[in-house]
Amino acid sequence: MPEFAKVPIAVLGGSGAYNLLATHALGKEKHCQAIETPYGKSAPIHHFSSKGLDFLFLSRHGENDYSLTAPFVNYRANIHALKQHGVKRVIAWSGPGIINTLFKPGDFVVPNDIIDETKHRDNTFFKDTGVGFIRMNEPFCPQIAAALHDALHLSGQSHHDQAVYACTEGPRLETPAEIRKLRILGADLVGMTLAPEAFLARELEMCYTPFCYLTNYAEGVKPREFKKGELFEGMQTDEERKQVDLAIQKFPQIISKVFEGLQGVECSCNCSEALRRYKNKGMI
């Protein structure tokens, strides 16, 4: 078994994660290995140690620039690989766009709900079975969310403790009309990565909560001219890009505080009981 087999906490890195890997900003790396699962091979899983705490880190979109867009991430393999090696808690880093103008680029947000607008993704481990009819009253783990809130408050960073995240299929960005629709549905943020990831984690009874840094205003929210060859083709101003870069640099420090807050704390949420009735029936 790999040496990181029993590490109980992991971070799923989003846009820009490869930069932290390249600059060795996450701590001392002890091991790295992609894992074979029944659903294919996972992305490389890095075992880090920081301030005496061990954690796993996986970059969804590749480790050399943004090499894999959201629709083509093997979410089932990634989540299953973490489960295989003892992970109980997952912090999901994501960089969504902004629908709710109370938020601004560079802010941190801990979403509390999700709208799934994806269309073609493998979204369950229980295909062609009678298992998987599970409750989603709290789609994200409230215990991890509380630890994130505490860490953000102590850090003094601009942050928000509630938001609805709409997950679209991609890889293209949304149209202005689609953003208007999502606003009507109650979405505050729009991204492409949290579904089906969050639901797969719940199916494996893992605690999972997203930690978002906001990258840009969604299409039509703020007037933006098309700029050839730039990031998001001009949807992000130079000042907004600076704020986002600063947020990414602060990520390791904030996550370290979250790890400290969760260390030795037993799970008090219901995430690990999602499949109890199927277990009671002997179905799994």
In a domain, 61, yes or no: yes
In a domain, 224, yes or no: yes
For the domain that residue 101 is a member of, what is the CATH number?
Answer: 3.40.50.1580
CA 40 to chain centre: 20
User: What pLDDT is stored for residue 96 in this prediction?
Assistant: 97
Query: Which residue spans within the chain are E strands per DSSP?
Result: 9-13, 28-33, 36-37, 40-41, 45-50, 53-59, 89-94, 97-98, 108-109, 113-117, 159-160, 164-168, 189-191, 207-213, 216-217
**Contact by Cβ (8 Å): 81, 125:** no
In a domain, 116, yes or no: yes
In a domain, 22, yes or no: yes
In a domain, 3, yes or no: no
Rounded to whole angstroms, the Cα distance separating 67 from 204 reads 27
- What's the token pair of residue 228? 């050839």
In a domain, 4, yes or no: no
In a domain, 183, yes or no: yes
Total domain count for the chain? Answer: 1
pTM of the model: 0.94
* Residue-by-residue pLDDT tens, the chain, 284 positions: 444 458 999 999 987 777 777 777 888 888 899 999 999 999 999 999 888 889 999 999 988 878 899 999 999 999 999 999 899 999 999 999 999 999 999 999 999 999 999 999 999 999 999 999 999 999 999 999 999 999 999 988 889 999 999 999 999 999 999 999 999 999 999 999 999 999 999 999 999 999 999 999 999 999 999 989 877 888 889 999 999 999 988 998 999 999 999 988 999 999 999 999 999 999 99
Structural domain range at position 18: 9-280
Rounded to whole angstroms, the Cα distance separating 66 from 84 reads 26
In a domain, 257, yes or no: yes
